[in-house]
Every structure is written in structure tokens, then in C-alpha cells.
Amino acid sequence: MDSILSVFVPIHREGYKYIGVFLVATILLFLMDLTFLTSIGFILTLWCAYFFRDPDRVTPDREGLVISPADGLIQSVGPAVPPAELDMGTEMCTRVSIFMNVFDVHVNRIPVDGTIVRQAYTSGKYLNASLEKASEDNERHALLIKTNTGKEVAFVQIAGLVARRILCWAEDGQEYKAGERFGLIRFGSRVDVYLPVGTNSQVCTGQRAIAGETVIANLKSREKDRQGEIR
């Protein structure tokens, strides 16, 4: 029973209207006796339900941990200047970029316990989110959260080649726990996390991350950037 329930995970409410549209279209195609198109419509309806799945996650509960805000591939880990729109200065810090393909869970989660102190939406292009320049050129929504120890962590939702809508319901001044849901991006995209200066990552390029569960850094650790290889 647990195995069955793990497959039929909850669907985020944002997906209901899309699933409904595909389902109605599929029924109409069936009534018109268009068998091939009906099959395509059925597959698209199932895919849409799969795309908007919103499973619960078990978030590590320890002060100082930075948790992945997105499911996906750790595309890059390296030095970068924080987003200019967040007024964090120009000193280089470690940026972890997580790329979400159309088959990943797209509900985004808060990376660290703290209070949202600043947000900034920037309109832009819809380049492939895997490109380096997508961080500066694409449509994005940047957030800055401050922990109770004064550390600041920035994270940015970035639209991609297919994505055409960034949703963020986080509120300025609101306290959040790591792992809490704060947004969603449709369809396929990327989330960048900017760690405080002097904080290194605990994930490697090419690794898969799970939103709300994978530890990408420890604000209380001085461990060097973690290295890994495909085996």
C-alpha cells in the first residue's frame, strides 16, 4: 500500500486548470471518434498531472543547513556576484545552480530558516535555463532571506526556454522554515542559490538534488567545496 501511495502523490492546486483543459479536450476528441488524437490527449493529461505533483518531503531539521529549493540537476557550483537587484554588493560568493527539466517536481521550497527581507522581479528573455547567461538575461524572481544569526542567503527562480510563468507567494517580513513551499515555475526552469561569502557548497556538479531534502551547504561549516565524480 505504501508503494502505491508513493506513486499517487498530491497535485498542486495550480495544476488543476491545466489538467482540466487537457481532460476536456481529450473527451471531446473521444466523442469525435478521433482515436489517435484522443490517445495523445490522454497522455498529455497524465503528463500534466505528473508535472504538477507536490509530494511531501522530509527536511533535515538542524540550524545552519541550507536545503535545496528545487528538484533537479546540480548544473554548476562556483563563484558568482549576487543578483544586482537584491543590493547585496559585488563581492563574489558561491552560487549553486539547479536545473529542472519538465519531468522534475516544480514546486520550490525555502532553503533555510529565516525571514524574507527583500524580493525583486525582473522581466527578461526565455533562453535555455541551462545557459550561464540565463542568470542575468532571463525573466526571474529573486528573494533574500536572513537567518536568525544574521546570515543572508539569496535564491532566484529563473524562467527557461519552455517556462513562461514564475509563481511566488512568499511575503516580505514573513518567517519561514526550511523546506516550506514558496513558489512554482511552469514548465522547466532553474533555481540559483547564492551562499554567504565564505560558505562552501556540499554538493557536486552533476548530482541530483531533491527540494526540501538535499543539503547543499552548512552555514556553520568551513568545509571546502565538495568534489565528486560520475561512477
CA-to-CA separations, 37 to 25, 31, 40, in angstroms, rounded: 10, 11, 5
Bridge partners (DSSP) listed for residue 144: 118, 154
Cell of 195: 551562499
Which of 142, 175, 61, 57 is closest to 105 using CA atoms?
57
Active-site residue among 68, 97, 189, 201? Answer: 189
Q: Is 135 a catalytic residue?
A: no
Q: Are 121 and 182 in contact (CB under 8 A)?
A: no
Catalytic residue numbers read: 189
